[in-house]
Amino acid sequence: MTDWLLLAWLWPLLLAASALPSLGSGAGQRGDRARAPETLPAWRASLVVIGALPALAAVWLVPVGSSLSLPWLFLGTELGLDEIGRVFLLFSAILWLAAGVAVAQRMRRVAHARRFHAFYLLAMAGNLWLIVGQDLFSFYAGFAIMSVAAYGLVIHDGSPAALRAGKVYLVMTLFGEVSLFAALVMIAQQTGTTLPRPEDLTQLGALPIALVLLGLGVKAGLVPLHLWLPLAHPAAPIPASALLSGAMIKVAMLGWLRFLPVGAIALPNWGGLLAAGGLLTLFYALPIGLVQADPKAILAYSSISKMGLLMLCLGLVLMEPALAPAGVAAISLYAAQHGLVKGGLFLGVGLRKQAAPAFLQPFVLGGLIVLALALAGAPLTSGAVAKYGLKPVLSGAEWPWVAAAVTVATVGTSLLMARFIWVCVHISPHPQPGSLWPGLAWALLILLVLLSAFVLGTPASWFTDWPTIALGLVFAGLIALGAWRNPDWLRPVIGLIPPGDLMVLARPIGRLTVVGWLHLWRPLDAARLRVVNAVTRGIEPFLARPDGDAERGLRRWPVAGVIWLGMIVVLLLALFGQSPHVQPVNSATGDDDEAQISAARLGRESPSHSLVETDPGRD
């Protein structure tokens, strides 16, 4: 049964491969540009839907805790399904399916459709491989493929805003990926295995933990690292942003749960840091979300705040290992719920903008309101159930005031949702044909969200902190009333902060670095050039001058004669230099003892030996 796990992510990968341009057909050499954007045939468009089915099947068919080891694949992959994995697989598969239907319908006639489908399937494969794969390599491989493919989704319609968002997304994702890579390398080295279980991770050093937090923080939207999120979501097509918000950013939580010693040992400082970060994200995103004009931007900021909440809970769990079992389950449940609701909201916005028959619009609005309430955690909704799950974590944490802070945040969220509904009401739809199937899928999704509240939740959980929700709604009603009476009351506030808030600062910083670099590099370059020119100018005349007959002088006989005689004199000096051994043996005039010595010396074996051995030092 476990090979469904392999099929879960391999199937979309294969489909993505088939979406590649076929060799012989239209992509030939002739007019590849003249044709209008081709509409994908039905069967090819439906690939995106079929892609998610094996994953969904895997959720049911594969028992929890089973694992499939493939030593030959990649660097020894280990596919398995634990509780967290199962929950993540479930809601991700559902989301990929729902969005898939929307893609199949909506993205058939649009330009570069084939390319979008290919990237969609690739992202799906990456996401699923990541969830199903237990070992480090699969996680990192899935993460990388998903991120790169998501880039293709973000910049699909090629507008300048999309391109800019894509660039920011890519740069930040790459930084995230690189730090994740470093972290995983250290984890592998310190734990010794590529299948780290929480107890192996206990003795992790500070650096890997920091890098994991940083790497996945980019994907999760930890505040200073969240800049790409509000830019990417509005720019991406609706189904893509649904998945970005719903499935892809949740991966960070999965990664943390897998690669941090959750529940094994207490990490007071790292846990505290994460919790504080979560808190900051939670409260930072809400006000900016409120002032956004684009509904998708609002949803983006709501995702950021929700992720902040999850980070807070994870931080608390890290600080207090006792909370781990309940906390982990709650976090994954909350993540699943948020994923589905956020996905639904995005798809709803899509339908709101392009739903075909006019009469469907009220149903769409109704659905959106339901989902908004679910997100805010209104009673009788899955949001309440999920929030109920988090209660023990928040209450049991060391920081007593955290529960109060969260309630304030809940108020903020409900305000945000009200703002969202307000904006949706004012969208003027321009219907397009073929929105029947997406509508149906959306309806099913809403039904699922509603049902999940009753299936999973206990009666007590249905009414978790309904008073704060009520307060929020009343407050929202008052503002809505004020805005309804004179529309330009809030005008100065709306659009005060552009979507990519801190990105505004990016341009000046960018310009600054470029100027600084030029100032540094230019003088260096100039100096180098000067040196090179000086050298060439120096050598040039020397080489270029056709050198005259340098040897004419040498050729004159007197000169040659002097040189030759000079050489003879030098050689004579060299030979006569060592006078003792050159003393003539039988010279009448030389003194006798000198003769005896040299004769004695020569007495031994052949002269060449004696000469060299006796005075090797001299040469």
Partner 1 sequence: MNRDLSLLIGILVSLFAVLLLWIVYITLSAETGPRLATLALEQLPESGVSHPVTAVLLNYRAYDTLLELAVLLAALLGIWSLGPAPAGFQLAGPALAVMARWIVPLAILTGGYLLWVGGHAPGGAFQAGALLGSAGVILRLAGHPRAGLPSEEAQRWLVVAGVGVFVLIGLLLAALGYGFLTYPKAGAKWLILLIETAATLAIGATLAAAYVGGRPLGAAPPSTPTPTEDARA
Partner 2 sequence: MSPLLTWTTWLPAAIVFSSLIPGLLIFLVKEEDCNRRTLLNMTGTLLTLLLVGVLIWGVFLGGVFETRVTIVPGLDLVLRADALSMLFVTLSSVLWLVTTIYAIGYLEHASNRSRFFGFFSLCVSATVGIALAGNLFTFLVFYEILTLATYPLVAHSGTSAATRGARIYLAYTIAGGIALLIGVVWLRTLTGPVDFVERGVLTDMPAALHPQLIAIFLLLLLGLGVKAALVPLHGWLPQSMVAPAPVSSLLHAVAVVKAGAFGILRVVYDVYGVEFASELGLLTILGAAASVTILYGSVMALRQDGLKKRLAYSTVSQVSYIALGASILGPIASIGGMVHLVHQGIMKITLFFCAGNYAETLGVHKVSEMDGVGRRMPWTTLAFTVGALGMIGIPPIAGFVSKWYLGLGAVEAGKDWVLLVLAASTLLNAGYFLPILYKAWFRPPPESWPHEHVFDSRFETLGALLWPPVITAVLCLIAGLFAASPFSPLEWATLIARREYGLIEFR
Partner 3 sequence: MSPAFLYGGAGILLFALGLWSFLVHEPLLRKLIGFNIMGSGVFHLFIAIAHRGDGLPPDPVPHALVLTGIVVAVSATALALALNSRLEAADANASASAHQTHGRGADEHADDAKRRRWPTR
List of residues contacting partner 2 (CB under 8 A): 20-21, 23-24, 27-30, 32-33, 71-76, 115, 137, 140-141, 144-145, 148, 152, 155, 158, 163, 170, 174-175, 178-179, 181-182, 185-186, 188-189, 207
Is residue 584 part of the contact set for partner 1 (CB under 8 A)? yes
Distance between CA atoms of 324 and 588, rounded to whole angstroms?
Answer: 115
Residue 569 binding result from partner 3, partner 1, partner 2, none, given CB thresholds of 5 to 8 Å by partner type: partner 1
Quick check: helix, strand or coil at residue 236? coil
**Contacting residue, 558, 603, 616, 617, with partner 1 by CB under 8 A:** 558
35 exposed, middle or buried (CB, 10 Å; 0-12, 13-18, 19+)?
exposed
CB of 590 to partner 1, least distance (A): 10
> Which positions from 309 through 338 interact with partner 1, judged by CB under 8 A?
none
The binding track of 534-573 with respect to partner 3, each residue x by CB under 8 A or -, is: -----------------------xx-xxx--x--------
> How many residues bind to partner 1 according to rule CB under 8 A?
13
> How many CB atoms are located within 10 Å of the residue 252 CB?
27
In sequence order, the β-bridge partners of residue 70 are: 77
Is residue 34 part of the contact set for partner 1 (CB under 8 A)? no
CB of 570 to partner 1, least distance (A): 11
Record the tokens describing residue 340, joined without a space: 């589905």
CB of 587 to partner 3, least distance (A): 15
CB of 572 to partner 1, least distance (A): 7
Residue 572 binding result from partner 2, partner 1, partner 3, none, given CB thresholds of 5 to 8 Å by partner type: partner 1
**Contacting residue, 20, 178, 518, 565, with partner 1 by CB under 8 A:** 565
The interaxial angle of helices 268-290 and 206-220, nearest 10 deg, is: 20
Q: Is the dihedral angle over the CA atoms 125, 336, 49, 170 positive or is it negative?
A: negative
CB of 538 to partner 3, least distance (A): 32
Distance between CA atoms of 195 and 135, rounded to whole angstroms?
Answer: 5
CB of 417 to partner 2, least distance (A): 35
Record the tokens describing residue 416, joined without a space: 């945000």
Record the tokens describing residue 35, joined without a space: 């044709």
CA-angle at 178, arms to 174 and 179, nearest 5°: 120
Question: Measured over all CA atoms, what is the biggest interatomic distance in the chain, rounded to whole angstroms?
Answer: 142
- Closer Cβ to partner 1, 592 or 605, answer by number: 592
Torsion of CA 183, 186, 191, 192, to 10 degrees: 130
- Tell me the H-state helices in 291-323: 295-319
Residue 33 binding result from partner 2, partner 3, partner 1, none, given CB thresholds of 5 to 8 Å by partner type: partner 2
Q: Are 310 and 282 in contact (CB under 8 A)?
A: no
- CA-closest candidate to residue 47, choices 133, 122, 145, 141: 122
- Closer Cβ to partner 3, 560 or 597, answer by number: 560
Stretch that binds partner 1, among 37-45, 53-61, 467-475, 582-590 (CB under 8 A): 582-590
Residue 614 binding result from partner 2, partner 3, partner 1, none, given CB thresholds of 5 to 8 Å by partner type: none
The set of residues, in sequence order, having a beta carbon less than 8 Å from that of 19 and lying 6+ positions away, is 44, 47, 114, 117, 118, 121
Binding residues for partner 1 (CB under 8 A): 558-559, 561-562, 565-566, 568-569, 572, 584, 586-588
Binding residues for partner 3 (CB under 8 A): 557-558, 560-562, 565
